Amino acid sequence: MKVVLQRVLKSSVTIDGEIVASIGNGIMVLLGIVNDDTKEDINWLTKKIVNMRIFNDDNGVMNDSILDVDGEVVVVSQFTLHASTKKGNRPSYIRAAKPDIAIPLYESFISQLEIDLGKKVQTGIFGADMKLALVNDGPVTIIVDSKNKE
Residue 150, in any domain of the structure:
no
Q: Within a domain: residue 32? A: yes
Residue 76 lies in a domain: yes
Q: Is 109 a catalytic residue?
A: no
Spot the catalytic one: 46, 78, 122, 123.
78
Q: Which of 7, 60, 47 is nearest to 29 (CA)?
A: 7
Q: What is the domain count for the chain?
A: 1
Q: What is residue 17's predicted lDDT score, i.e. its pLDDT?
A: 97
Question: Is 79 an annotated catalytic residue?
Answer: yes
DSSP code for 90: S
Q: Please give the pLDDT value at position 20.
A: 98
Does residue 126 sit within a domain? yes
CATH number assigned to the domain comprising residue 98: 3.50.80.10
Report the pLDDT value the prediction gives residue 149, as an integer from 0 to 100: 80
Average pLDDT by consecutive 10-residue portion of the chain (150 residues)?
A: 98 98 98 96 98 97 98 96 91 93 98 98 96 97 91
Q: Would you tell me how many other CB atoms lie within 10 Å of the CB of residue 102?
A: 22
> Is residue 67 domain-resident?
yes
- Predicted TM-score (pTM) of this structure: 0.94
